[in-house]
Amino acid sequence: MLEELYASICGQDQCSSFILGEKRDRVIDIVRNVVNIHSSCEPNKLATLTPKRWVNFILYCQQINNEAKELNLNTRPVAFRLHLGDGWYVWICRFYVPYGTSNEHVRPTRDGISLRLDKWAELLVVIPTIHERHPELARICAEAQSQLHG
């Protein structure tokens, strides 16, 4: 329903929105090829990926996914950081429960937007649809891939 609202306001080629997670608390909004990932519960929790940052994210998506799998398997300590540009980073880090609270109050160890592994998996599934609906993002990612491997 949210996607339909954006499409009617902006036109299908300009805007779209995706909701991640069972709790539906992580939202991906794309407006004019800028990808914003934010929390529907905490308005200050967000990441803004300009086309340049999106390309960097896509170029290293497999590496990020490999590190996320290692974290999930707990086979080795994982401390992964990737610079996307302009001071924005992808971090894979552990979460903590503040002293004196219950396990329901799990917190990430860094500021920004956090995606649990299930939401990360959903994001990976959504990426092809994002590229289908936003061909300019797909085009610049394909160009970057060809330059990298060309």
pTM for the model: 0.77
- With CA atoms as reference, report the closest residue to 26 among 9, 2, 10, 7: 2
Query: 109: which 2 tokens?
Result: 């160890």
Q: Specify the higher pLDDT residue, 75 or 30.
A: 30
Alpha helix (H) residue ranges in the chain: 2-10, 51-59, 61-73, 117-133, 135-149
User: Across the chain, what does the average pLDDT equal?
Assistant: 83
* Residues spanned by the domain of 37: 2-149
Task: Please check whether residue 7 is in contact with residue 16, taking contact to mean a CB–CB distance below 8 angstroms.
Answer: yes
pLDDT band at 2 (very low <50, low <70, confident <90, very high): very low
Task: Please check whether residue 148 is in contact with residue 142, taking contact to mean a CB–CB distance below 8 angstroms.
Answer: no
How many domains is the chain built from?
1
Mind listing the pLDDT tens digit for each residue in 67-119? Answer: 888 888 887 777 788 888 888 888 876 666 778 887 777 666 555 677 888 89
